[in-house]
Amino acid sequence: MTRELTVMMLTWEFPPRIIGGISPHVYHLSKNLAKNGVKVCVVTCDFPGAPQHEVVDGVEVFRIDSYKNPSPDFATWVYLMNVNMQKEAAALVNRLNGRVDIFHAHDWLVANAGIGLKHVFRKPLLATIHSTEVGRRNGLHFDYERMIHETEAWLTYEAWKVICCSNYMVSHVRWAFGLPEDKLVMIPNGVNLQEYTRNKNINFSRFRKKFASPKEKIVLFVGRLVYEKGVHVLINAVPRILEKVNAKFVIVGNGYMKEPLSNLINGMGLAHKVMFTGFVDDETLKNLQRCADVCVVSSLFEPFGIVALEAMAARSPVVVSDTGGLAEIIDHDVTGVKVHPENPDSLAWGIKKVLLDEKHANWLTNNAHRKMLEKYDWNKISRQTKDVYEAVLKEYSKSFWT
């Protein structure tokens, strides 16, 4: 190719607009693609105070009017926002004289825009499926949910390739939408390691004192306090752990299970050993992950499990339940400890194993860190993504659209 490959990323969130995991994902992917010689234009929803057009770390970002009238419901808003998104994106591609090689859409939230642009400019469309409606809702119960599911199916139908972040999601998406195997590509999610290297200027023992006494080990849980995240499994494991180790359980996050969980802990007489912090800012969270003696991911259902990766990047040992994407991230007794899902005894065993054997814990964190560099490094992930772009463009060059 004589000129550099140009990709237009379509995403409903991009920093500073952060709603879920798509925003940091698209940010890191775009930035590292740019470093690897891909020209990236991100088209995304506007955000108060963020400019309509700016260049962020070598990435061109265009923010569109995201439809601000009241909407009947979320899905209708999504479709209305897509009217504006594809209108603005079409004008942008026109200004670039059609010099966009690939449209890359993230989730059904930008399905309409991605599909429209594909056909209007006759360029390939790629889709990353981060999550599915049938997975989020554990089934399809209403027309509203079926409509979103069918929109997701339509996006995967129109896409030349569908990218998922774990083997678990590959098989889930295949099942949900009936896709051929050769249409799916697994490229893992990543974590920016530099963000987790220890800041020498911070006094960690002072920071630590805010959460636990020096004699207590810190057991950290990060996640929404909802049933499928399995916080209740950890709570039920607490007495069994305290029999052998003096520890403080720090639980970061919010959710509808906060009150029942607090009641459960009070009933067990363990209020002094379990601390709920609610939401914390990014820096506090990272410092907690750096200080923790073990990070626990006790989910019952987990498409990917980015918190486990974050803990690994922060050099904290991890104990995870053997399910979904988590099962793939961790090699048992090599990069972390895997335990049976929804089993407090098994979880307590795993946590004690890490807390009682510091040498083993260090070995696990060193292995985990090496694995991070090998597999979950954004630079590497972006190169894998670029390879997919190039493969698709090669196919495209033989199609009747060229």
Partner 1 sequence: MHVIVLSWEFPPRIVGQLAGYVKELTVQLAKKNVETNVVTYHDFLTGQHEEPEGIKTYRVTNPVRTHIGVLTWVLTLNQEVERAAANIYYNANKQIDLMDVHDWHFIQAAVTLKKAFNLPFIYSVESLEEHRSHGANYPFNMAIKSIEWLGLYEAKKVIVKSEWMRDEVTRVYRVPMDKIKVIAPKSSTWMKDILEIYNSTMRGAVLK
CA angle 277, 283, 289 (to 5 degrees): 65
- With CB under 8 A as the contact rule, the residue among 143, 181, 243, 374 that binds partner 1 is 143
If one asks whether residue 122 binds partner 1 (CB under 8 A), the answer comes out as: yes
SS3 of residue 90 by DSSP: helix
Span from 71-79, 130-138, 167-175, 382-390 in contact with partner 1 (CB under 8 A): 71-79
Span from 55-63, 146-154, 262-270, 330-338 in contact with partner 1 (CB under 8 A): 146-154
Q: What is the dihedral of CA 146, 148, 154, 156, to 10 degrees?
A: -110
Q: Which is nearer to partner 1, 13 or 152 (CB)?
A: 152
CA-based nearest residue to 304, from 156, 149, 129? 129
If one asks whether residue 144 binds partner 1 (CB under 8 A), the answer comes out as: yes
Q: Which is nearer to partner 1, 151 or 346 (CB)?
A: 151
- With CB under 8 A as the contact rule, the residue among 150, 216, 322, 342 that binds partner 1 is 150
If one asks whether residue 147 binds partner 1 (CB under 8 A), the answer comes out as: yes
If one asks whether residue 136 binds partner 1 (CB under 8 A), the answer comes out as: no
If one asks whether residue 91 binds partner 1 (CB under 8 A), the answer comes out as: yes
The CB-of-95 to partner 1 minimum distance in angstroms stands at 10
Span from 50-58, 64-72, 260-268, 332-340 in contact with partner 1 (CB under 8 A): 64-72
- With CB under 8 A as the contact rule, the residue among 16, 19, 51, 83 that binds partner 1 is 83
- 105: which 2 tokens? 């859409």
For 288-314, give one letter per residue: b (16+ CB within 10 A) or e.
Answer: bbbbbbbbbbbbbbbbbbbbbbbbbbb
- 316: which 2 tokens? 């904290």
Size of residue set near partner 1 by CB under 8 A: 34
If one asks whether residue 53 binds partner 1 (CB under 8 A), the answer comes out as: no
Does the bond joining 16 to the residue before it have cis omega, within 30 degrees of 0? yes
Contact 89, 102 (CB under 8 A): no
If one asks whether residue 396 binds partner 1 (CB under 8 A), the answer comes out as: no
Contact 320, 329 (CB under 8 A): yes
Half-sphere exposure (Cβ direction) of 230: Cα atoms closer than 13 Å: 23
Site pattern 92..121 for partner 1 (x: CB under 8 A):
-xx-----------------x--xx--xxx
Distance CA 226, CA 231 (A): 8
Q: Which is nearer to partner 1, 158 or 390 (CB)?
A: 158
- From residue 38, alpha-carbon distances to 13, 58, 97, 209, 379 in Å are 21, 10, 18, 46, 12
Contact 214, 286 (CB under 8 A): no
The CB-of-137 to partner 1 minimum distance in angstroms stands at 14
Where on the chain is the footprint of partner 1 (CB under 8 A)?
Answer: 67, 69-73, 75-76, 79-80, 82-83, 86-88, 90-91, 93-94, 112, 115-116, 119-122, 143-144, 146-147, 150-151, 154, 157
